[in-house]
């Protein structure tokens, strides 16, 4: 009796005709199984797939929009603010050149809206920072620092005593105090007016305090460790970086003043930086 290995082509054809199968399954005596074609998803499945696709595209679009917003907030606003600050700074220096030098700063007439002078802090490496009146966003967004006009009125550097208190942005809109955390005790803080260089020395740092803590602006800022009237300077900004939750504070005390010469030669603290 012939074995399965001896099955002829005619026999295979007969099996295929009888069973409706062709190919290897018929040759094996019908042992194979039928494999039905995959079913196409129904309408409900197609709707779910479409919804998932749309949702994914929305997530990608949202991510791109957020990325552009961050780039605008942290880079482009710096570009615009620095351009505005440069124009205003040039205007202040031009006005100084057109005004007869010498005299007492206390008696000089300053347009606080245009700017009263320039802050130099070598540790922050920000160059000269124009100082204007006020700490509102319209002022600070111009890439400058402002002296407090509320809730505590700042003293001026030329006053006999008091606290010359300043604020500026930590990030975006010029970010003039971005590197405030680089200031250490003993570092120089210099304020330049038309007639005078005011040279302060940083003596205390408060890395974090409540944004509502106005005691740091007191004429005698006791939180810095001093108890007697003097001629102080206070720098404040937001912390941590990219957040306005707390305030970072640096205090300095006036060491000396130097008159501005005809060449506006900076003090040694700036020449050596």
76 and 67 in contact (C-beta within 8 Å)?
Answer: no
Question: In this structure, what are the phi and psi dihedrals at residue 132, rounded to the nearest 5 degrees?
Answer: -120, 170
Question: In this structure, what are the phi and psi dihedrals at residue 21, rounded to the nearest 5 degrees?
Answer: -110, 155
Q: How far apart are CA 164 and CA 193, in angstroms?
A: 14
Q: Is 238 marked active-site? A: yes
211 and 246 in contact (C-beta within 8 Å)?
Answer: yes
Q: Which of 116, 238, 249, 254 is catalytic?
A: 238
- Annotated active-site positions, please? 238
């Amino acid at each position: 009796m012939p074995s399965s290995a001896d099955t002829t082509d005619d026999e295979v054809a007969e099996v295929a005709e009888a069973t409706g199968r062709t190919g290897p399954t018929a040759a094996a005596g019908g042992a194979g199984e039928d494999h039905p074609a995959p079913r196409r998803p129904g309408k409900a499945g197609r709707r779910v797939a479409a919804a998932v696709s749309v949702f994914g595209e929305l997530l990608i679009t949202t991510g791109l929009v957020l990325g552009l917003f961050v780039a605008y907030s942290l880079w482009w606003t710096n570009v615009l603010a620095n351009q505005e600050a440069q124009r205003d700074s040039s205007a202040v220096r031009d006005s100084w050149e057109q005004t007869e030098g010498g005299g007492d700063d206390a008696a000089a007439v300053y347009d606080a809206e245009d700017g009263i002078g320039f802050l130099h802090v070598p540790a922050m490496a920000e160059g000269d920072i124009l100082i204007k009146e006020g700490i509102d966003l319209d002022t600070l967004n111009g890439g400058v620092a402002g002296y407090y006009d509320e809730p505590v009125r700042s003293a001026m550097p030329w006053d006999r005593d008091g606290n010359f208190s300043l604020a500026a942005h930590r990030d975006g809109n010029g970010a003039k105090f971005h590197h405030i955390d680089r200031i250490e005790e003993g570092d120089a803080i210099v304020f330049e007016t038309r007639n005078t260089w005011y040279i302060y020395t940083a003596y205390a740092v408060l890395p974090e305090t409540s944004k509502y803590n106005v005691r740091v602006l007191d004429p005698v800022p006791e939180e810095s460790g001093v108890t007697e009237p003097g001629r102080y300077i206070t720098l404040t900004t937001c912390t941590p970086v990219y957040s306005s939750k707390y305030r970072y504070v640096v205090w300095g005390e006036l060491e000396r003043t130097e008159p501005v010469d005809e060449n506006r030669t900076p003090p040694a603290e700036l020449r050596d930086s």
